[in-house]
Structure 1
């Protein structure tokens, strides 16, 4: 579940270093008014140190004392791993040093962000909801969840039924989708179920593949509904399969296993649960801007969970 930069080419962490792939060089300036995701905040302690591991147009990833963070410009949206601000950084390459000293974030020997006054982002608690509000919310989703919106990636899997003319990607995901539905329904895992779930991990193009995004969205929706036992059962099976995807996607899945993802995804889940149509429309616009299909793929995973919750009531 991408909460970093656009995933236009699927480059993975550790593979970016050529100067013509990096963001244009600009003079660095210290940024104040920084927002930090609750997981990224754990890394930003004085004397913490690490290095840049991937660089993109509007963001870069770094690992500091073993903790991954995504430093990006405000437009990429809030998330648990994010450090957001009106940043200007020098040209970076993988391996450039990152450190925190005297409440300042330094990158490649240049002071980038003042951290003393940072705000910490965390998702809002799940709203009060009922069977009626969830039904209204899903009715609102159904009114728009189709056509061009779900023509790419795995978004169509959130519609409740897969069309006969589904794309090759969706057809490849079918065994994994069936296994996911079984876990969400509370069935005990077995080797066949794990094997089928494994077909989703790393499935599809992009920095965070569609299958990973979908599983992440399901994990977050289960947490929002308070279905912690089922969330943990799903994660227990998926955790053993993470070698099938890339480093950046793995860290977003690990955040999802704790119940954390992009702010827009939380907003869409909460609006659907509470039947708030206006909130869902705002969230959908924001989801559509995350990656090429990542935001919509993640919400499709959430919808699988939310639809099952309604059927079970």
Structure 2
């Protein structure tokens, strides 16, 4: 299956008082039509900046310094602004993290959905746009969509606002949906409903999804392929099954080990010591080595490349493939 989106060596940098630093550093990823790519990692690892780079929405003083973003055979980074506007929101849509801050509180949800559609279909009448917006609200299972069309964001719950954001993103029937933390701050019941909704809509439309999250449970439920990011780089990439059954990077092992298990009892949860380093204070060698319990002297000197370990499983670790005993120790 050919890739709908292919990111090649993408590097996004910011100008700071400490010089130019990379928030996204040489990332290469791809997703095919009808498939879901999960991107996971702690806060500050570059997940959201990667999505903003694909959409060409990098805030100042940031810029895309290198790489290609191929979408349906065209490099998005070479398109003029008008050409990118035609694609953004139309063929590639994005659900942002916080629905309450992404929705304008002084406009009704209907006004905001129709505005998104009008940007790509100026010939449509107001009545036609309203009918399509109400249909979009119904498609994301919002009850009484005709009434909700005239309501304001503050009149809705967090789960309902998230559904409005999904309706807005899907209003123009995009080929690719980028969902940045779509279940953050939602309780587990609403989270399950949102994930079921995204999965059903994907089956109906055949769109590709890039799912950005720190929640490995969400990834396990949704993703066909998973990319684990750390300090601006992809450190492991494999099928969803392989990531959970045979993780090959110590960082991935740490993330999996921190998930509580019902069948096990511990006085405290396992945790990865330390924090993601600031982009202007990256360690030499492997960027994860100061937090890695398996690090050796070589890890402090050498920056490991992302290597194919077989069957499309890639990992950036000098010790990969990890021995079974090492993996067991991490768990």
TM-score using structure 1 length: 0.28
TM-score using structure 2 length: 0.27
Structure of higher RCO (CA pairs closer than 8 Å, 6+ residues apart): 1
More strand by share: 2
More helix by share: 1
